[in-house]
Amino acid sequence: AQSVTQLDSQVPVFEEAPVELRCNYSSSVSVYLFWYVQYPNQGLQLLLKYLSGSTLVESINGFEAEFNKSQTSFHLRKPSVHISDTAEYFCAVTRYSSASKIIFGSGTRLSIRP
């Protein structure tokens, strides 16, 4: 079975500061990894995903995540955050397979201070 651990339930940062949201996963088989974002009162949106190839993946709004197989991590980073990045961020994993569910972490609430 797969599992996801997000160690930080809340991360407060100042605007324009860098941020890292940590994610570690556990799996005995190869997996796909995702970061989803949930803005207040909205549904989940896919931020970025790692399926194969380059271990560094990027989103259109400046976030990036690096797949580290040896450390079973998929941390999310942004060099300079904006107020509009305030949201809940969920790391998720699914195994290579058809009809396989996505397993989500418990989430990290990113709050940006002006």
Partner 1 sequence: GAGVSQSPRYKVAKRGQDVALRCDPISGHVSLFWYQQALGQGPEFLTYFQNEAQLDKSGLPSDRFFAERPEGSVSTLKIQRTQQEDSAVYLCASSLNRDREGYGYTFGSGTRLTVV
Residues contributing to the site for partner 1 (CB under 8 A) = 4, 6, 9, 32, 34, 36, 41-46, 49, 51, 90, 92, 94, 98-107
How far apart are the C-alpha atoms of 110 and 102, rounded to whole Å? Answer: 22
d(CA 111, CA 49): 23
d(CA 106, CA 112): 20
- The residue among 22 and 49 lying less far from partner 1, judged by its C-beta, is 49
| Between 70 and 98, CB nearer to partner 1 | 98
Q: Are 38 and 44 in contact (CB under 8 A)?
A: yes
Residue 1 C-beta: closest distance to partner 1, Å: 11
| C-beta of 17 vs 46, nearer to partner 1 | 46
Query: By the 8 A CB rule, do 74 and 68 touch?
Result: yes
CB 79, min distance to partner 1, A: 26
| C-beta closer to partner 1: residue 3 or 71 | 3
CA distances from 52 to 36, 57, 86, 93 (A): 18, 10, 29, 13
- Residue 35 CB, nearest distance to partner 1 (Å)? 12
Q: How far is the CB of 67 from partner 1 (least distance, A)?
A: 15
